[in-house]
Structure 1
Amino acid sequence: MAEVMEDRGDQWSLLPPELLHLIYRKLPDTGDFLRFRAVCKAWRDGAPVSDQPPQLPWILEHRGTGLQARQQLRFYSHSSGRMYSVRAGGRSWLLASGACQGHAVATVDLSRTVMYNPFTGEGRALPPAPYKPWHDGVFHVVDDGEAGCLVVNTSAKTRRFAYCRPGVDAGWNVFDGREDMRHSAYHGGRFFVNTAAGETLAIEAATCAVEAVVPPPPGENFATARGDFLVGSRGKLLRAVQHPRDGNQAASAADYYVNMYQLDVRGGGKAAWSKVETIGDAVLFFDDHGHGFSLEPNDAAGLRRDCVYFVHEKRTWVEFCEYRFLCRYSMKDGRVDKTVQLADTFGNTWVVPSL
């Protein structure tokens, strides 16, 4: 029997690399990807960490049973239906809200701010937050190319923001020159920030200087907009403006539609927003804080191309409870589908698992 098992093991290890690629790219969960790589050396070499399969991001728990007793962070993977927990190093952790690329940001014992990789357990201390993260600060982590990552902390009250590069900057670079800023995104070494008037500021990250002011999309009505989001996707900067279909407060997720724009640089260095009807193979995610990110489609994980994912939340006073759904808006036909119902303790803050 041992010889038969050994022979079969040799056969599995001899699968061609192109077949291995087809298999592991369909795995819907990072945990399954790690188990795949642990089978043998041939599978580990054929499935590099740099080529993880796309998947739904993890939803992060936003409240626990007791503040001082909370010594771990909990995450839920929709792709596998599994719960993941990360044990903290302090007596209590508070998760800082905001979409996070590969990392979560938390405050330990209400004093230390830490950037944490929830899958590997790797943590890195950050400088003291410029805004109280448990009171009015919203964090998000963005990819900064070869430079690594960038942590952005936005004041939920004043909309001013600060940023730092972990391990590089000793403190936070604070941009507080205006008080009409709304949602922001980091793209190509610049911050792009939407204002209350619908304009978009292009801010050079190295100097905090406003390089350009892009006019609002022509004909867009921001008075009825529920959300005004910015996100970098496949080398382009996109802007999604979400509206209720009847112009009033939407009663259900199906009552929303999205106007999508792309930033185009024209002659003379001038930039303008141009409306687009498709985002191609991209899959966009947004949260209520105005942060977003772009993923690749994957049928196994339920990610569909040319779609925008958002969370719809509604309080039902009859039953004295809330319900949340992760919803998917199709750019192709304008249809909204409820993909996953969320537990009451899980909000719309998520992290894309990273190895």
Structure 2
Amino acid sequence: MGEPPGKTGRRDAGGTAPAVEDRWTQLPPELLPLICKKLPDSADFVRFRTVCSAWRDAAPLSDVPPQLPWVVERRGSAFQARVHFRFYSPSSGRTYGVRGYGGRSWLVMGGACQEHLVTTVDLSTTALYNPLTGERLALPPAPYPQWRHGVVHVVADGRRRGGAPLVVNASTRTGHFGYCRQGDTKWTLVDGRQDMGHRAYHGGRFYVNTNAQETLVIDASTGAVESVLPPPPRSADAGAGVSCGDYLVESRGKLIRAVLFPRDSVVATSAEDYYLNVYQLQEDGKAAAAWAKVESVGDSVLFFDKHGHGFSLEPNGAAELKRDCVYFMHEKRTWLDAGEYRFLCRYNMETGEVDRVVSLPDTFGDTWIVPGLCPSE
């Protein structure tokens, strides 16, 4: 990797070990956290920690700077051998390769992930895998295999939620889903209905949108449907347009729902043709829970993939994570489907405008991961 700028080495006349003049260690300690917060990439954070002990102490593993999530390389065949993972960092424009663990066949389960990927080795062993630390957590065999009809994502992270990582595996054919935590010997399956769509975990319950735009409230310990929330109030600007995305995510202890609409109420041909209606679940205990439209998500940054999975992040100007914004994916097929363009787009809640943040390489697909360096609890 080489030495940081400002660090020089030289040997004395006797040929002994080099005497090092390290001006970087003389920086005022109060500046180090400020510098660290401006780093746009986890790889830069790791390099920052290797400069010296003072810099390492100023950059604890639990305080990685917010950044745009990394996107995982997509392979043509689900059965293709995968010894290495490749990641693309939109914040820095760099591509990284990380060696996997064992096995001749690697499958990456698609979906947004918090710090871990869900992988399958030799089509049998399923595990949570942190590609930056090498940590591996065994899971029961997936109930809906990805090579048949499954989409997996990590909906809660133990370090952030106070419990073990919670993994959901949904069937793309029926909408049913199963979930498990580290240490479980089997998946808990929710098979009561076949019109279940996007889902989020909040306060010990799953909230699942249906085709009718209702929201099922499901007890995570039993899998039973506790109640059904009515659709959110439709704003006048939505008109008769059909939504082209309906997302759920927990943010700062609140459950948020974002519904994506085309501006002309028919079809969106470019990223700028979209707008969002955003709602928050109201739970005051005096009345039945319901969706209420909000005009701002404050200091939160909401991020969704094409499957409706997502997470809430902290704003960071250096990483292009702007406060009060919602990030989503837009795909555009070229003439005669000869190719495909993928854009990460940002909807500004204050102005109602959409702009493209980054164009993604076609070889990188739908799985996003928030890089993390802390071990799971």
TM normalised by structure 1 equals 0.93
Match of 2:68 among 56, 60, 65: 56
Whole-angstrom distance in 2 between the partners of 1:6 and 1:279: 53
Q: CA deviation at 1:111?
A: 2.3
Match of 2:356 among 335, 338, 348: 338
Match of 2:201 among 173, 177, 186: 186
Whole-angstrom distance in 1 between the partners of 2:171 and 2:199: 12
Q: Percent identity?
A: 62
Which amino acid in the other structure matches residue 153 of structure 2? H
Q: CA deviation at 1:13?
A: 2.6
Whole-angstrom distance in 2 between the partners of 1:140 and 1:282: 21
Matched-pair contact (CA < 8 Å) for 2:241–2:266: no
Matched, 1:348 2:366: yes
Which amino acid in the other structure matches residue 127 of structure 1? P
Whole-angstrom distance in 1 between the partners of 2:39 and 2:258: 29
Deviates more, 1:240-249 or 1:136-145: 136-145
Q: From the CA coordinates, give the structure whose radius of gyration is larger.
A: 2
Which amino acid in the other structure matches residue 333 of structure 1? T
Whole-angstrom distance in 2 between the partners of 1:162 and 1:263: 24
Q: CA deviation at 1:266?
A: 3.3
Matched-pair contact (CA < 8 Å) for 1:277–1:332: yes
Q: How does 1:317-332 map to 2 (within 5 A)?
A: 317=335, 320-332=338-350
Matched, 1:103 2:121: no
Q: CA deviation at 1:137?
A: 0.7
Match of 1:13 among 25, 40, 50: 25
Matched, 1:286 2:298: no
Q: CA deviation at 1:318?
A: 5.2
Partner residue, 2:149: 136
Kindly tell me: are residues 46 and 287 of structure 1, through their superposed partners in 2, closer, same or farther at Cα, counting changes over 3 Å? same
Matched-pair contact (CA < 8 Å) for 1:60–1:349: yes
SS at match of 1:21: helix
Kindly tell me: are residues 318 and 35 of structure 1, through their superposed partners in 2, closer, same or farther at Cα, counting changes over 3 Å? same
SS at match of 1:50: helix
Partner residue, 1:299: 317
Whole-angstrom distance in 2 between the partners of 1:303 and 1:99: 17
SS at match of 1:300: helix
Partner residue, 1:163: 179
Kindly tell me: are residues 74 and 7 of structure 1, through their superposed partners in 2, closer, same or farther at Cα, counting changes over 3 Å? closer
Matched-pair contact (CA < 8 Å) for 1:107–1:133: no
Which amino acid in the other structure matches residue 143 of structure 1? D
Whole-angstrom distance in 2 between the partners of 1:68 and 1:216: 42
Kindly tell me: are residues 240 and 6 of structure 1, through their superposed partners in 2, closer, same or farther at Cα, counting changes over 3 Å? farther
TM normalised by structure 2 equals 0.88
Kindly tell me: are residues 68 and 198 of structure 1, through their superposed partners in 2, closer, same or farther at Cα, counting changes over 3 Å? closer
Partner residue, 2:277: 259
Whole-angstrom distance in 1 between the partners of 2:165 and 2:347: 29
Which amino acid in the other structure matches residue 144 of structure 2? Y
Partner residue, 1:39: 51
Matched, 1:211 2:223: no
Match of 1:270 among 285, 288, 306: 288
Could you report, residue by residue, the CA deviation over 1:177-218 in whole angstroms, capped at 9, with x for unpaired residues? 112211100112211111122111221211222222221112
Whole-angstrom distance in 2 between the partners of 1:319 and 1:149: 39
Q: CA deviation at 1:47?
A: 1.2
5+ residue gaps, structure 1: none
Q: CA deviation at 1:268?
A: 3.1
5+ residue gaps, structure 2: 1-8, 12-17
Which amino acid in the other structure matches residue 122 of structure 2? D
Q: CA deviation at 1:8?
A: 5.0
SS at match of 1:63: coil
Match of 1:241 among 246, 259, 273: 259
Whole-angstrom distance in 2 between the partners of 1:147 and 1:233: 17
Which amino acid in the other structure matches residue 294 of structure 1? S
Q: How does 1:75-86 map to 2 (within 5 A)?
A: 75-86=87-98
Matched-pair contact (CA < 8 Å) for 2:78–2:147: no
